[in-house]
Amino acid sequence: MILNGFNEKDFLENYWQKKPLVIRQGFDEPNWISPDELAGLACEEEVESRIVMQETGAWNVEHGPFPEDRFSTLPKTNWSLLVQGVDQWSPEVADILKSFDFLPAWRLDDIMVSYAPVGGTVSQHYDFFDVFLIQGEGSRTWKIGDVCGSHSECLPDTPLRILKDFESRMEVTLQPGDILYIPAKYAHYGVSVEDSLTYSVGFRAPSICDVVDGVGVECLLEDDRFQDSAQSLQAQRGEIPKSAISHVKDMLLKVMDDEQLISSWLGQYVTDKKYPEFDLPTSAADNCLERLKAGESLMKHPSSRFAYIKQAELAGNESEAFLFADGEKYPAKLALASYISNQYELDSNELVLLLTDVQNQELVTELVVAGNLIFEDDFFADELGEAN
Ligand code: SIN
Ligand code: CO
């Protein structure tokens, strides 16, 4: 699915992670979820949601899940409801992602949907995400300011990161179907002109802190420790000599040079579960192949994330890969790993062919046990509260 009037090559060369862009009428019928359905999601325990409001000058954030009657007690204007990860709960919203196929799936964070009556805003801020703001129903006026960073001052004593200073460099009013792309760190805010829905498709990029922290905590052992050299022992007792500094640098360089280790971390990081506290429903895993042969459909759980790394790129092994699923790493045949990671929907016949290989069969069973893959019938039965 291609966005109307959109030139991918021009976008990737000139705008992606560089500067904002307005894409008029990128979508024809942006009615993927109604305000009532969104409010319904915000009442669910597993769903992350917030209501942002300015009351008597002070900014207030209430976190969901909300009791149903919360919505009837809200004022007519000047508030926003924000619901994270709506792509996990609404197949219609998840389908929006197919229009962003020109970007790697593993860079995606989620689709947040916000509803705001007239005047609703979360005020001036910046995100560390690249975001496509798609206007659903209604309209919203966006102002975009300068590039910010850790140095940018925020208002004190607010539960939101609201920028103290904001100078508008660009203003645009989005109508249903319009898209505004804002690169990470650009100051921005939108104000609802009329009751409106905005879909934010967010792409995250790990910071150097995430990398160093993550590699350190998740991949390194405590055993590898600093060792004194004869040279560093000769220094004055209070002096940290250059040779000690070089040794610490060598310890870091050894880690930085270890592509296996860094690839393991990256695969796990980008597929990590967004809400690890919630268990996935599972199918029985003892007869996967028979169920597929009988024509049953296996699906990727909507909240599961998959990515793979070709082993050829690491160890010269053409047909092997590592598959990452919800933060777990599995050695896998490249054919299976790429099929699962690249496809939106899995075809039973294709899977039956892949499962003639015993290693593939074992891996699919493991993924079914973990809940990353689930038979459609079991998934929908669970949604209706019939299973588990
Ligand atoms: C909103 O949808 O109101 C806020 C989205 C954003 O600024 O990132
Ligand atoms: Co934002």
Q: What angle do CA 201, 27, 80 make, to 5 degrees?
A: 50
Q: Which residues line ligand 1 (CB under 6 A)?
A: 80, 114, 122, 127, 131, 188, 190, 198, 200
Enter the DSSP assignment of 62.
E
- Positive or negative, the CA dihedral 352, 357, 362, 367 is negative
Residue in 82, 172, 195 to alter for ligand 1 test, most ligand atoms within 8 A of Cβ:
82
Q: Which long-range contacts (CB under 8 A, 24 or more apart) does 217-224 make?
A: 218/265, 218/268, 219/261, 219/264, 219/265, 220/255, 220/261, 224/251
Quote the CA–CA distance of 149 and 184 in Å, as a whole number: 10
What helix, strand, coil percent values describe the chain, rounded to 5? 35, 25, 45
Ligand 1 centroid from CA 4, angstroms = 23
**Quick one: pLDDT at residue 158?**
87
Return the sign of the alpha-carbon dihedral for residues 119, 124, 126, 127: negative
What beta strand segments (E) does the chain contain?
A: 21-23, 49-55, 58-63, 79-83, 108-116, 129-135, 140-147, 170-174, 179-182, 186-192, 196-204, 298-300, 306-310, 320-325, 328-333, 373-375
Q: Which amino acid is at 209?
A: C
Query: Parallel, antiparallel, or unpaired for β 108-116 and 186-192?
Result: unpaired
Q: Tell me what pLDDT residue 1 has.
A: 67
For 254, residues 6+ apart whose C-beta sits below 8 A from its C-beta are none
For residue 304, the CA-to-ligand 1 centroid distance in Å is 24
Within 8 A by CB and 6+ apart from 291, the residues are 298, 375
* Residue of 61, 86, 114 to mutate, ligand 1, most atoms within 8 A of C-beta: 114
Contact 300, 377 (CB under 8 A): no
The pLDDT score that the predictor gives to residue 313 is: 66
pLDDT of residue 385: 59
* The predicted structure's pLDDT at residue 286: 87
Q: What is the mean pLDDT of each run of 10 residues along the chain (388 residues)?
A: 88 97 95 97 97 90 96 95 97 96 95 97 96 98 96 91 96 98 98 97 94 89 90 92 95 92 95 90 91 96 96 79 97 97 97 97 97 95 63
Q: State the pTM of this model.
A: 0.93
pLDDT at residue 25, rounded to an integer = 96
What DSSP letter does each residue of 217-276 carry, written as one string? III--TT------HHHHTS-TT---HHHHHHHHHHHHHHHT-HHHHHHHHHHHHH--S-T
Contact assessment for residue 121 and residue 80, using Cβ atoms and an 8 Å cutoff: yes
**Residue-level pLDDT at 384:** 64
| Sheet of 140-147, strand order | 170-174, 140-147, 186-192
Count other Cβ atoms within 10 Å, centred on residue 153.
9
Q: pLDDT value at position 387?
A: 44
